[in-house]
Amino acid sequence: MADIASRIEEANALVLKRILEADPLWVDLRPAKEVVPGMTENTILHAGPPVRWERMAGPMKGAVAAALLFEGRASTPAMALEMAASGDIRFSPCHEHDAVGAMAGVISPSMPVFAVRNRTLGNTAFCAWRDLGQASGCFDEETVDKMHWIHDVGMPALRAAVLERGGLEIKPLWARGLLMGDEHHNRVSAGTSIFTRMMAPAMARAVEDRQALAELFDYLANFDLAIVPLTMAGCKAVMNGAHNVEASTVVTAIARNGVEVGIRVSGLGDRWFTGPAQLVKGIYHPGFSEADACPDLGDSAIIETTGFGGCAIAAAPTHVTVRDEPGAALRYTQEMYEITLGKNPSYPIPALGFQGVPTAIDIRRVVESGILPIVDTPIAHKEAGRFRGVIGFGMSRPPMECFEGALTAFADRYLD
Amino acid sequence: MADIASRIEEANALVLKRILEADPLWVDLRPAKEVVPGMTENTILHAGPPVRWERMAGPMKGAVAAALLFEGRASTPAMALEMAASGDIRFSPCHEHDAVGAMAGVISPSMPVFAVRNRTLGNTAFCAWRDLGQASGCFDEETVDKMHWIHDVGMPALRAAVLERGGLEIKPLWARGLLMGDEHHNRVSAGTSIFTRMMAPAMARAVEDRQALAELFDYLANFDLAIVPLTMAGCKAVMNGAHNVEASTVVTAIARNGVEVGIRVSGLGDRWFTGPAQLVKGIYHPGFSEADACPDLGDSAIIETTGFGGCAIAAAPTHVTVRDEPGAALRYTQEMYEITLGKNPSYPIPALGFQGVPTAIDIRRVVESGILPIVDTPIAHKEAGRFRGVIGFGMSRPPMECFEGALTAFADRYLD
């Protein structure tokens, strides 16, 4: 036992070091099929742990339909749903392809993905540029048109800019955003502003089509959440760098498919440990309530896994989920220090005396303390196509089964 | 006495209402001589209360020399200084022309000024687009070149954009910046980012010269303090709307020329009440100390007069002047509630339970409490041309003489 304890300690120290030293650089923006490992013309990726078509949540089915319409594989929603159910499409979790996707997390071959390279270790990760309609399961004409705009206008323009700039360093973006009240998951309006300001010179130099340039600036000006996919790709690049360290008990992914929540653990390879997805207590937009909500959905909890989002909510006291409850933001983050192994000095939180964000969730600490990670999450409607966008924001927790299952598997593997 | 007390109360209520309801809109960017009242080809405006050439502080003399070189009135610094001393130039305080200027505050006829209209009352105010070199008294070739770039490239491009956009509302910019840790005087990096994001679509549409567009985005990306002159013009537009209300004891300007500090009071017309400018305790850049500093300088304290800067420093705990002293930011703002008449609900401070910024400094409260307004100020070198930019940041207070003098004058005028 002493032997395994020190082995775990050593492994976790290495994992923590890899997270703290990770240096994500946004390098490219290309169609998924050109860069995402294992992506084929017939593959569609989705959020969370594996799930068959029949069991998929409403918004995920809707997002698949939107993807098939966007790809030109179907010309009506009915045809798209039929094709999805036919067995001809290979569905696979984003996380099994070095990728992540927001909300439904559906990525089809032609969709643009942000490619972020972790310069410390050389690994690259991807996240789809989401249209909020498609991400939340809509498949109407407006949604598909927007997906085409992102592909035809947005991608070439923004790609030209990032190549012109020689990449964009993500660490300063995260550090500065945190000092401006962002937690990087749903309160990201500072980050989107900083991103625009940092990228604008290269955009002006690289984009010759003035109309495209103006439309891209419109998109950035009008959509506060614009940089979330870039942040997600960055977090995935960081956490993939920390994955697959033998004997480590650190969580390297938390992901939700609307039916189940799954986690992965650094020392336990690519296995998923799952439990049922919960409904999210939160602030719903007028006209919606928990009764309309899809249970916990999306790969975006990779943000929490990296130390932001719910973990860093103390930095974001103005965010809707904590704004009306004095002290809540501080309490959530302080709780997260109980289940993490370190603090990331690159990302200090002013309201906590400039302590770094809680970093490296340990499955042992979660099970021992009974404290579950907190995820600051957007909420989708449970029925596909009912609402273009999120119907609210809330704080969710993955089920304890995930951590108990992982700890049991860890014991099976390392204590025998 | 009861009569004057209720008259003051009524007047101050009107002044507070005018400040709270002011609605500044950035409408134009033009050479000073085209828009600033009383500006002639032979006029040079300066910061603070009136001061003769002979008595001007080092950086103000340097800034005048830079202005004459920029205007083409002199071809060498020596010629410029001779011309300034000759009596041929009419020097006048910015504040006497509905204008303000940062640091030395020197505005010459061709310099671009941001024009901000207070839509509630219809008055317009101006602030020069400052090059930091010129503002701090440099007159070398690099400084004059930069002034020409601002005039030849920056002004037409940014002017085209604001006209294309139909103006830019300043209230949302201030409100959002405050929620991102800006106090709007020296911690303005959020505001400059939001400004860039909000203006970028119109810039892309209105600026045909791609090189100019790229250079303007470079300027905004690389200069955190870029929007300070716009904020200053906005504050001056707000406070001019509150000026000249009979029987009001509210301060409508605090301004420093490096030799004297002057204040103006709403109910006391355009008279200045002055006292000696103080050296500023602060954080100096490496290699500099208080011994190198010019005493308190610049019209930028119009920002504090409006409720931001030092008054709102609780919103900016990451700012260099308060970052290393726990609680200091909160204490300064709480102190300012003691000498102000209200809180501005448009500008809530998250760290103070979303209370509005302290608004409308009352000379009676200052004298009675002994609490002087606190100004979050940049610091210039005392010798012209010694350093391109500020040598540090600190918290300064205007001398009590200003407020005592004003109160005496008020009594003379209203109690007889």
Domain check: are B189 and B265 in the same one? no
A121 and A218 fall within a common domain: yes
Residues B353, B252 share a domain: yes
For A310-356, the pLDDT digits (tens) are 999 999 999 999 988 889 999 999 999 999 999 999 999 999 999 99
**Domain-embedded: residue B329:** yes
A2 — pLDDT class (breaks 50, 70, 90): low
Which pLDDT band holds residue A225 (cuts at 50, 70, 90)? very high
Q: Do A197 and B213 touch (CB under 8 A)?
A: no
Closest CA to A306 of A235, A233, A396: A235
Q: Select from B166, B167, B158, B146 the least CA-distant residue to B212.
A: B158
**Residue-wise DSSP of A315-384:** G-TTSTTTTTSTTHHHHHHHHHHTTEEEEEEEEEEGGGTTEEEEEEEBHHHHHHH-PPP-EEEEE-BSST
Q: Report pLDDT digits (tens) over A122-172.
A: 999 999 998 889 999 999 999 999 999 999 999 999 999 999 999 999 999
Q: Which of A180, A220, A221 sits opposite B180 (nearest CB)?
A: A180
- Which whole number is the average pLDDT over A73-101? 97
Residue A205 lies in a domain: yes
CB proximity list for A172: less than 8 A, separation 6 or greater: none
Report strand pairing: A282-284 vs B251-257.
Answer: unpaired
Residue at which a domain ends, from A231, A254, A275:
A231
Say whether pLDDT at A52 is over 70.
yes
Instruction: Report residue B329 as tokens.
Output: 């930011």
Q: Are residues A182 and A269 in the same domain?
A: no
Q: Where does a domain end: B175, B206, B232?
A: B232
Which neighbouring-strand residues pair with B381? Answer: B293
Residues of A in contact with B190 (CB under 8 A): 180, 190, 193
**Count of structural domains, chain B:** 2
Residue B263 has pLDDT above 70, yes or no: yes
Q: What average pLDDT does the segment B250-273 reach? A: 98
Task: Tell whether B225 lies on the interface with A, counting CB pairs under 8 A.
Answer: no
Contact map slice: A 108-167 vs B, CB within 8 A? none
Does A168 reach chain B within 8 Å, measured CB to CB? no
Please check the confidence at residue B335 and state whether its pLDDT lies above 70: yes
Give me the pLDDT at residue A337, please. Answer: 98
A180 to B181: CB separation less than 8 angstroms, yes or no? yes
Among B232, B263, B286, the domain-final residue is B232
Q: Looking at beta carbons, which residues of chain A come within 8 Å of B194?
A: 193
- The whole-number pLDDT of residue B130 equals 86
A250-268 per-position pLDDT tens digit:
999 999 999 999 999 999 9
- Please tell me which residue, A6 or A388, carries the higher pLDDT value: A6
Question: Contact B59/B104 with Cβ under 8 angstroms?
Answer: yes
Residue A11, domain member (yes or no): no
Q: Quick check: A327 contacting B, CB < 8 Å?
A: no
Q: How many CB atoms lie within 10 A of CB B88?
A: 10
* In a domain? residue A13: no
Residue A194 at interface with chain B, using a CB cutoff of 8 Å: yes
Domain assignment present for A9: no
Residues B338 and B408 in one domain: yes
Give the Cα separation of B168 and A221 in Å (integer): 13
* pLDDT greater than 80 at residue B191: yes
A368 and A224 together in one domain: no
CB atoms within 10 A of CB A287: 8
Q: Are residues A319 and A221 part of one domain?
A: no
Q: Quick check: is A66 in a domain?
A: yes
Q: Residue B1's pLDDT is what? A: 56
pLDDT digits (tens, 9 = 90+) for B35-72: 999 999 999 999 999 999 999 999 999 999 999 999 99
pLDDT of residue A1: 56
Residue with tokens 């687009």: B129
pLDDT given for residue A48 in this prediction: 98
**A196:B200 CB<8 A:** yes
> Residue A271 — pLDDT band, cuts 50, 70, 90?
very high
Helix (H, G, I), strand (E, B) or coil at A48: coil
pLDDT recorded at residue B17:
98
Together in a domain, A185 and A249: no
Q: Which of A193, A209, A216, A352 is the mutation pick for testing B, counting most B CBs within 10 A?
A: A193
Which residues face A293 on adjacent strands?
A381
* Average predicted confidence (pLDDT) for chain B: 97
Question: Rounded mean pLDDT of B340-351?
Answer: 97
Torsion sign (Cα): B161, B162, B168, B170: positive
Q: How far is B383 from chain A (nearest CA, A)?
A: 34
pLDDT value at residue A5: 94
Say yes or no: A183 and A67 in one domain: yes
Q: Is A354 left (phi over 0), alpha (psi -120 to 50) or beta?
A: left
Q: Which of residues 352-391 of A touch B (CB under 8 A)?
A: 353
Residue matched to tokens 């789809």: A128
Share of chain A above pLDDT 70, in %: 100
Is residue B373 over pLDDT 70?
A: yes
Indicate whether A237 belongs to any domain: no
- Does B8 map to a domain? no
- CATH code of the domain containing A404: 3.90.1700.10
Indicate left, alpha or beta for B101 from its phi (over 0: left) and psi (-120 to 50: alpha). Answer: beta
- Identify the pLDDT of residue A147: 97
Check whether residue A227 and residue A253 sit in a common domain. no
Q: A221 with B201: CB under 8 angstroms? A: yes
Question: Which residues in chain A are contacts of B318 at CB distance < 8 A?
Answer: 179, 350
Contact between residue A117 and residue A234 where contact means Cβ atoms under 8 Å apart: no
Check CB contact of B223 with chain A, cutoff 8 Å. no
| Average pLDDT of chain A to the nearest whole number | 97
Q: Is the model's pLDDT at B2 over the cut of 90?
A: no
pLDDT value at residue B131 = 86
Task: Give the domain range for residue B109.
Answer: 24-232
Cβ neighbours of A200 in B, within 8 Å: 196, 200, 217, 220-221
No. of helices (H) and no. of strands (E), chain A: 15, 16
- CATH number of A55's domain: 3.90.1710.10
Check whether residue B227 and residue B250 sit in a common domain: no
Residues B34, B174 share a domain: yes
Among A114, A108, A111, smallest CA distance to A64 is for: A108
pLDDT value of residue A99: 98
Instruction: State the nearest Cα–Cα gap between A351 and chain B, in angstroms.
Output: 8
